[in-house]
Amino acid sequence: MLLTSTSDLIRIVYSAETTVDLDIQAGWADQTTTAFTPGRTNTNETNASGATATIVGSPDTSTQRQVKTIVIYNAQATYSNTVTVQHYDGSLAVDVWSGTLSPGESVEYDGTKWNRLNSSGTLVTSGLTASDVQSQTTNGAGVWTKPTSFTPKFVEVIMWGAGGGGGAGASLVTVSCGGAGGGGGAYNRRIFRASDLGTTEDFIVGTGGTAGAPGAAGAAGGNGGIGGTTSFSTNNYLRAFGGGGGIGGAISGAAGGGGGGGGQASAGAVGTTAFGVGGGPGTSAITIANPSCAGSGGPITVITTHNAMYGGGGGGGHTATPAQVVGGSSMFGGGGGGCGGGKITAGPAVNQPSAGGASNAFTAGGGGAAGVSQNAPTAGTAGADGNSRIGGSGGGGGGSTVQAATAGAVGGKGGSHGGGGGGGGCGHNAGLGGAGGAGGAGAIYIFSY
């Protein structure tokens, strides 16, 4: 850059911050018809109100000043600063570089181009953008803090509600039912302007629904609990609701519904002898197959259409035979839990439990594997945990038994990110029914960029 008149100069305009600490070094060479004279300045700017400051002064009469180097370093450890470098001729200011320097960052002019360096002194290429990720994948409260190492433009939040718990199996020597699976938690997503959010925002990650507890010998199993809601901000800027709990196994041939999948507007309901109602908005998948924002219902008929798009998959229920239904799946939400094994009238004889539903799928089943109904029944497999891309899978149902005084097997736990718990299998009195699997916790990811 050339300064060719006594009014030409280089200056910076920097922003007001709580604390300002900018170190600036500039070097140049002055040339006349008879001499070539190098020069330089070292300055420090600390005006917290922001200011316009000259960093390369004007040359003398009949002198051309060639600016060779400029280095501007943000020495502040906490606060960023927006800096603009200008070539000013006394009446017109032309911006030659402008940007926000994070703590420890610098920008340098080498005589031909501007280079930006990060706090480690590494060149920052123009294609890279600063970003920040804060997440929590276990239940409980937390606080998101807006990044200060750069100035974010947008904040993207994705979350899952918690999965519902599976119902416990019944205990009886004749026809009886395994516990139904819990519904999967819903998925939700939203992008905010960073300026619309506070410096901090509270959030809560939903707790997985409680596992259904076995009743006494010869008694029905307990229902699973409803999964907790995941929310962002005390103003509830975004929420994802939990799945409903599966109904406990009956000491009769009564049908039992899985927990309804959680929706983006309300939680799924605990299963009943009719079905488990999915969370809103809209109508659950018992009447509308594959709903979008709603959770799918927990059926009492052998179907495979109880899947959802953003809501949770419905928990697997059973018919009055009983015949087990696999857990429903969801493209984005958590999968529903599978149903525990039961006992049919003839014999009595066992029937097999069902698998949990999956996430990133529109076909029921495919989650945690079912246990095995036999003299020594086996437990359902836990559902796979989710991540920032996919919800949790539902746990598999536990196996049942006709072996005297033998307990039913437990249902598999739902995977984190909203997987529903599997239902427990039937026990043979005086053996108790198997406990249901607990629902998987919700999750939240907060991306700033």
Structure-block tokens of residue 159: 């979350």
Query: What is the pLDDT at residue 126?
Result: 54
pLDDT in tens, 180-205: 999 999 999 999 999 999 999 999 99
> Residue 404's closest CA among 388, 428, 376?
428
Is residue 4 over pLDDT 60? yes
- Top pLDDT among 282 and 260 is at 260
C-alpha to C-alpha distance for 6 and 9, rounded to whole angstroms: 8
> Residue 317's closest CA among 345, 338, 343, 333?
338
Query: What is the pLDDT at residue 322?
Result: 87
Q: Locate tokens 């799946």: which residue?
A: 329
SS3 194: helix
- CA atoms in the 13 A half-sphere facing the CB of 448: 20
Mean pLDDT of 301-308: 86
Is residue 288 over pLDDT 50? no
Mean pLDDT of 282-294: 56
C-alpha to C-alpha distance for 334 and 328, rounded to whole angstroms: 9
Mean pLDDT of 425-444: 97
Is 323:300 a contact under the CB 8 Å cutoff?
A: no
Q: Locate tokens 């340098």: which residue?
A: 108
- The secondary structure of residue 195, as a DSSP letter, is G
pLDDT in tens, 311-351: 999 999 999 988 999 999 999 999 999 999 999 876 688 99
Query: What is the pLDDT at residue 128?
Result: 47
pLDDT in tens, 212-250: 999 999 999 999 999 999 999 999 999 999 999 999 999
> Residue 253's closest CA among 291, 209, 215, 300?
300
- Top pLDDT among 224 and 282 is at 224
pTM over 0.85: no
Q: For 213-317, list the strands marked E by DSSP.
A: 230-232, 238-240
Query: What is the pLDDT at residue 253?
Result: 87
Residue 155 forms beta bridges with which residues?
192, 448
Mean pLDDT of 101-123: 91
Q: pLDDT class for 297, splitting at 50, 70, 90?
A: confident
Is residue 284 over pLDDT 60? no
347 Rama sector, left if φ>0, alpha if ψ -120 to 50, beta otherwise: left
Is 93:87 a contact under the CB 8 Å cutoff?
A: yes
Q: Length of the chain, please?
A: 449
C-alpha to C-alpha distance for 433 and 169, rounded to whole angstroms: 4
Write the DSSP string, 347-359. TTEE----PPB-B
pLDDT in tens, 381-395: 999 999 999 999 999
Supply angle C-alpha 213, 427, 337, rounded to 5.
55
Query: What is the pLDDT at residue 369?
Result: 98
pLDDT in tens, 340-358: 999 987 668 899 999 999 9
Is 291:309 a contact under the CB 8 Å cutoff?
A: yes
Mean pLDDT of 95-119: 93
Query: What is the pLDDT at residue 283?
Result: 59
Mean pLDDT of 86-105: 94
C-alpha to C-alpha distance for 378 and 389, rounded to whole angstroms: 31
Query: What is the pLDDT at residue 64?
Result: 93
Query: What is the pLDDT at residue 303?
Result: 81
